[in-house]
């Protein structure tokens, strides 16, 4: 009777002996989804040799083992800051787009509110490393096409002169005029529209 | 006079046929905006300092040391930030300024990379891919961190 009990135990131990020891499958890589600056959250699809998972919630994370196993984990704003603060602090500033508006027919006279935008432009340029600046002038549909091409270029040049006067060391500064060819507010021909008399300034 | 004209045409032809590479950075993919500690660009086996204002091209490799970090803004406004002890390869970058379509492909061989996606990810979602030695990431307009070789 005791013999019958013993046999299964021995048999189990033999099986145990012959089971190969598990090869450690350590975490190799990690992916963490962060909320965008505006608070919204996008998606990252992560594919390994053995699977695919989608990250779609803020601070959701995946640990990937050397063999490709994907394991879900969760981080927090604090844990990400602790582990990757030195990376996040080195991120380039967000590209900025500004628009200034001009008085009717003028290539030099800005609207009163646009003077404040010029102050903002100067502030942005003052602490931006190696700024790349693109200036695009526009007109409304008063006047003919060719005159408006010239006027839009002159408006762009006014903004370029303001930028140059700040003494900023730009990595690049490009200007162009689009005349009445890219209306912000679509209108018929010969329509005075303040919102179309503008210069767009894109700073990267 | 005829010889002079021919010479002039020959000169013009030589100028016209110049590849856009050397002098013009027309194919620049982006510009380095921040650089900390030990950081450089490996381009065609040449080590260049990764300085603020340096331009980055397809096939460039960014390498940082223990105290290094490099922040890059690409032409489509994608922002890539390589952390310390990182090797980052920019495999592909194409961007159409008008349609905002294009392709971006980069590999984090080791270390960490913070990504804020740009215009390509919105216009060509399937055109943006990041890799590590073990995974491939597809991006749907967002921010994230990749770490390759977790300690």
Q: Which of A25, A45, A74, A92 to mutate to test the interface with B (most CBs of B within 10 A)?
A: A92
Same domain, A101 and A81: no
The pLDDT of residue B9 is: 56
Looking at the structure, tell me whether residues A16 and A53 fall in a common domain: yes
Check whether residue A56 and residue A110 sit in a common domain. no
A132 and A100 inside one domain: yes
* Same domain, yes or no: A11 and A51: yes
Residue B42, domain extent: 26-148
- Pick among B143, B146, B148, B151 to test the A interface (most A CBs inside 10 A): B143
Q: Looking at the domain assignment, is residue B16 inside a domain?
A: no
Residues of B whose CB is below 8 A from A93: 33
Question: Is the same domain home to A71 and A146?
Answer: no
Domain annotation covers residue B7: no
Q: CB–CB of B142 and A34 under 8 A?
A: yes
Domain assignment present for B39: yes
Domain boundary among A51, A69, A88: A88
pLDDT band at B41 (very low <50, low <70, confident <90, very high): very high
What pLDDT digit, counting tens, does each position of A108-149 carry?
Answer: 999 999 999 999 999 999 999 999 999 999 999 999 999 999
> Helices in chain B by DSSP H: which ranges?
2-17, 119-123
pLDDT of B20 reads 41
Domain boundary among A58, A88, A118: A88
Find the domain containing A40 and state its range. Answer: 2-88
A131 and A183 co-located in one domain = yes
Q: How far is A63 from chain B (nearest CA, A)?
A: 9
Is A52 in the same domain as A150? no
3-state DSSP of chain A: CHHHHHHHHHHHHHHHHHCCCCCCCCEEEEEEEECCCCCCCCEEEEEECCCEEEECCCCEEEEEECCCCEEEEECCHHHHHHHHHHHHCCCCCCCEEEEEEECCCCCCCECHHHHHHHHHHHHHHHCCCCCEEEEEECCCCCCCHHHHHHHHHHHHHHHHHHHHHCCCCCCEEEEEECCCCCCCCCCCCCCCCHHHCEEEEEEC
The ipTM value here is 0.82
Domain boundary, last residue among A88, A121, A146: A88
| Subunit contact A46:B136, Cβ cutoff 8 A | yes
Question: pTM higher than 0.90 for the full model?
Answer: no
Q: How confident is the model at residue A24 (pLDDT cuts 50, 70, 90)?
A: low
Q: What are A187-197's pLDDT values in tens digits?
A: 999 999 999 99
């Amino acid at each position: 009777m005791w013999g019958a009990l013993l046999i299964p135990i021995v048999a189990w131990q033999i099986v145990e002996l012959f089971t190969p020891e598990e090869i450690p499958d350590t975490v190799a890589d990690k992916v963490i989804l962060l909320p965008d600056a505006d608070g919204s959250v996008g998606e990252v699809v992560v594919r390994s040799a053995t699977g695919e998972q989608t990250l779609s919630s803020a601070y959701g994370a995946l640990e990937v083992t050397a063999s490709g196993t994907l394991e879900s984990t969760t981080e927090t704003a604090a844990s990400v800051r602790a582990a990757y603060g030195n990376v996040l602090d080195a991120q380039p500033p967000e590209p900025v787009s500004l628009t200034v508006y001009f008085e009717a027919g003028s290539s030099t006279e800005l609207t009163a509110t646009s003077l404040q935008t010029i102050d903002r432009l100067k502030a942005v340029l003052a602490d931006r490393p190696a700024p790349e600046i693109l200036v695009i002038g526009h007109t409304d549909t008063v006047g003919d096409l060719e005159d408006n091409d010239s006027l839009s270029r002159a408006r762009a040049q006014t903004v370029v002169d303001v930028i140059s006067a700040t003494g900023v060391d730009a990595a690049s500064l490009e200007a162009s005029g689009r005349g009445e060819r890219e209306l912000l507010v679509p209108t018929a021909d010969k329509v005075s529209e303040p919102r179309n008399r503008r210069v767009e300034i894109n700073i990267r | 006079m005829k010889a002079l004209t021919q010479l002039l045409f020959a000169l013009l032809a030589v100028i016209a046929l110049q590849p856009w590479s050397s002098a013009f950075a027309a194919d620049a993919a982006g510009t380095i905006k921040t650089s900390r500690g030990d950081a450089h660009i490996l381009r065609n086996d040449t080590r260049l300092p990764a300085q603020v204002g340096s331009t980055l091209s397809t096939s460039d490799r960014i390498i940082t040391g223990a105290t290094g970090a490099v922040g890059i803004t690409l032409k489509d406004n994608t922002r890539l930030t390589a952390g310390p002890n990182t090797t980052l390869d920019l495999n592909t970058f194409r961007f159409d300024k008008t349609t905002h379509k294009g392709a971006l492909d980069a590999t984090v061989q080791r270390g960490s990379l913070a990504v804020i996606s740009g215009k390509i990810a919105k216009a060509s979602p399937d055109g943006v891919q990041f890799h590590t030695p073990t995974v491939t990431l597809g991006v749907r307009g967002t921010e994230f961190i990749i770490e390759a070789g977790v300690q």
